[in-house]
Structure 1
Amino acid sequence: MERGLALVLPLFLGLLQQGRGGPLEVEPHEPVVVVAMGGSMQLTCRLSCAGRKAASVQWRGLDTSLGAVQSGPGSSVLSVRNASLSTAGTRICVGSCGNLTFQQTVKLLVFAFPDQLTVSPVALVAGLDQEVACTAHNVTPTDPDAFSLSLLLGDWELEGVQALGRAEEEEPQEGEDMLFRVTERWLLPPLGTPAPSTLHCQATMRLPGLQLSHRQPIPVLHSLTSQEPPVTTSLEATLEQGSTHSPRSPGKPGNSSTGPCLPEIHQLPVPGGLELLCEVACGPGVAVRWTQAPGDLAAYERREAGARAWLSVLWATCNPEGWFQCRLDPGGQMASLYLVPEICSPPTSGALWTGSLLLGLLLLAFLTYRLWKCCWARQLLGHPPPLGPN
């Protein structure tokens, strides 16, 4: 009796194990399957029954975005086309052989990770403490375990930098998908000697069975070699560079069918200073705005009109050295201009001359008054003023 139970019990346990999903096969085999936003994929579920039993297989989902399902004897294929964020979720394959039912679950994860990185400033200057920001556009998910931004020297993270924090903002989208703009900021100490020629901002997406990365170079200026000044003023332009950008995503406006829409900064001499013009030659629906200037941006006079934005730099005082930067919306592409005050005229020279002249006139008037008063007093006392030595 005991020997018979010992033979039957393993067989019974084996049937239970099969009932929990043993012979049901799902491809891909991973419990979590990732697909890029806008991409396509297939999930195939198969079941073979012993003997002449017909296998029944069917994909099921927990929501209405199951996808296209084609089922036949012993198999069911779930096709996902043009994946969106609403496509993500748990999918269940249920199969049966007679009275035995089997089940497998697959979690579908949709991600967005376009090669759209921007950096600010667009170039670094050796020997200075500098703040640098790196921004990834239109990404999801943004969980730190899945998405990260880092500053690299070669293939290694740059040492000695101070992390200043991370910010996430929603990117404007036409559909229901919610994508994000993620910015990481660091404070860099003066780069060593010799300074590297280039640093890189790297964005990395790590998901089950998948790791992707994009890089954006940040050149390092070893010396500030000034160009010819646009006008005889106290500032000279040392670097003007178009936006650091990546190829634009489909549907974004551009100034050609193959290239991205890039803002540019031009220098326009005006009486008493310099006017900077940021403009972009794109289709309608785009705008540029100034986002950075030495000191406080609010201290500068600015005018913004769609695809053009002006900023006035006056020579009344020695302006601080640094980057002027403008940004394109939508798209996030940026352009930057670095200005260095090489010749700073004393701002009060004219006022000092005027003040000195006024002080001299006041002193002359005071002496004239004192001399007149002295002569008048002598006449009243009957003592004519001395005429000089005999």
Structure 2
Amino acid sequence: MEQGLALLLALSLGLLQPGRSQPLRVEPPEPVVALAIGASRQFTCSLACARGTAAVRWRGLDTNLGAVRSEAGGSVLSVRNASLSAAGTRVCVGSCGDRTFQHTVRLLVYAFPDQLTVSPATLVPGRDQEVACTAHGISPAGPDALFFSLLLGNRELEGVQALGREEEEEDPEETEDLLFRVTKRWLLPPLGTPTPTTLHCQATMRLPGLELSHRRALPAPGPRPEERPPPAALWTGSLVLGLLLMPPLAYRLWRRCRPPPATPARPPASLWLLPVRD
């Protein structure tokens, strides 16, 4: 803490000379670096002196600095398995004789897993309906970092009305970091049948030097209510009625199709002509 305050005082008094011509070589050179939660990154800083040996070391400003390995003319800062608490400012300070130089790096740690859920389970064509898209396990969750959009094909869907945005903390028992689930809701205009292309919800994380997106398809619209097949109860009733009508119909069909009764054969005519004996 005291070391950080001393460094801030030195910066404010101009004792550390940033300047464009500073000989510090830092990798990565960007002033802001975004790192995914659980990932690792090394920051190297070196200084070459025309005379003597440079003293170089990474320092932190009220943050979890990380592992530092310093040697003559250079220093390596290692951030391993980054948590949200690792975010903050690091400063590389180097000196040659009575000249001192510094380079500041702000580390951002983010969480943006591919965990999107959408609702409702089925879209109904021909009517207005509310749709929602939720991103889980997010940090940072503010509207300046996380953006939502509805895409029809590869273009943003027009005519939708934003209904609001909600941020809630995830279950703290599942992770040590403070993560959020963020939900965006829209009022979707009536869709035709069939929908020409697939409708997607897209969530985008934008940080300095970083832009990532995840998509999740919304369910395809089902048939209109008047086009839906009869419910199961109607099918059951029709089946029972058919079984009740089957015996009378079968009996009628049997009577029509049965063969005519056989006619008894007459004796030949010669039998009628035999003489009668007394």
TM-score normalized with structure 1 length: 0.53
- Alignment of 1:38 with 2:38, yes or no, is yes
- Alignment of 1:150 with 2:149, yes or no, is yes
Amino acid at match of 2:57: Q
- Alignment of 1:132 with 2:131, yes or no, is yes
Superimposed CA distance per residue, residues 289-326 of structure 1 (whole angstroms, 9 cap, x where no aligned partner): xxxxxxxxxxxxxxxxxxxxxxxxxxxxxxxxxxxxxx
In structure 1, runs of 5+ residues without a counterpart are: 1-15, 235-390
Partner of 1:164: 163
Partner of 2:253: none
Please identify the structure whose Cα radius of gyration is greater.
2
Superimposed CA distance per residue, residues 147-188 of structure 1 (whole angstroms, 9 cap, x where no aligned partner): 111111011110001110001000013344111110000001
Superimposed CA distance per residue, residues 348-385 of structure 1 (whole angstroms, 9 cap, x where no aligned partner): xxxxxxxxxxxxxxxxxxxxxxxxxxxxxxxxxxxxxx
State the shift of 1:64 in Å: 4.9
Secondary structure of the structure 2 residue equivalent to 1:232 = helix
Amino acid at match of 1:136: A
Amino acid at match of 2:181: R
The number of aligned residues is: 218
Q: In structure 2, how many angstroms separate the alpha carbons of the residues matched to 1:56 and 1:123? A: 65
Partner of 1:203: 203
| Structure with the largest fraction of strand | 1
Cα pair 1:91 1:105 within 8 Å, conserved: yes
Residues 97-116 of structure 1 mapped to structure 2, 5 A cutoff: 97-116=96-115
Amino acid at match of 1:29: P
State the shift of 1:40 in Å: 0.6
Cα pair 1:149 1:184 within 8 Å, conserved: yes
Amino acid at match of 1:173: P
Amino acid at match of 2:233: T
Amino acid at match of 1:232: A
Change (3 A) 1:54 1:122: same
Secondary structure of the structure 2 residue equivalent to 1:219 = coil
Cα pair 1:43 1:79 within 8 Å, conserved: yes
Q: In structure 2, how many angstroms separate the alpha carbons of the residues matched to 1:128 and 1:182? A: 26
Q: In structure 2, how many angstroms separate the alpha carbons of the residues matched to 1:119 and 1:226? A: 24
Q: In structure 2, how many angstroms separate the alpha carbons of the residues matched to 1:171 and 1:64? A: 24
Superimposed CA distance per residue, residues 91-128 of structure 1 (whole angstroms, 9 cap, x where no aligned partner): 01100111111111100000000000000113312212
Amino acid at match of 2:93: V
Residues 275-354 of structure 1 mapped to structure 2, 5 A cutoff: none
Cα pair 1:196 1:220 within 8 Å, conserved: no
Partner of 2:66: 67
CA RMSD across the alignment: 2.4
Q: In structure 1, how many angstroms separate the alpha carbons of the residues matched to 2:102 and 2:87? A: 19
State the shift of 1:232 in Å: 2.0
Q: In structure 1, how many angstroms separate the alpha carbons of the residues matched to 2:223 and 2:46? A: 66
Secondary structure of the structure 2 residue equivalent to 1:143 = coil
Amino acid at match of 2:27: E
Amino acid at match of 2:106: K
Secondary structure of the structure 1 residue equivalent to 2:85 = helix
TM-score normalized with structure 2 length: 0.73
Tell me which stretches of 4 or more aligned residues in structure 1 moved more than 6 Å.
none
In structure 2, runs of 5+ residues without a counterpart are: 1-13, 236-278
Residues 203-282 of structure 1 mapped to structure 2, 5 A cutoff: 203-223=203-223, 226=228, 229=231, 231-232=232-233
Partner of 1:191: 191
State the shift of 1:143 in Å: 1.9
Cα pair 1:195 1:222 within 8 Å, conserved: no
Cα pair 2:133 2:184 within 8 Å, conserved: yes
Change (3 A) 1:176 1:194: closer
Partner of 1:47: 47
Q: In structure 2, how many angstroms separate the alpha carbons of the residues matched to 1:168 and 1:233? A: 45
**Structure 2 residue corresponding to 1:20, chosen from 5, 18, 21:** 18
Q: In structure 2, how many angstroms separate the alpha carbons of the residues matched to 1:145 and 1:114? A: 18
Amino acid at match of 1:55: A
Change (3 A) 1:64 1:194: closer
Q: In structure 2, how many angstroms separate the alpha carbons of the residues matched to 1:17 and 1:89? A: 22
Superimposed CA distance per residue, residues 8-33 of structure 1 (whole angstroms, 9 cap, x where no aligned partner): xxxxxxxx999435111211110000
Secondary structure of the structure 1 residue equivalent to 2:38 = coil
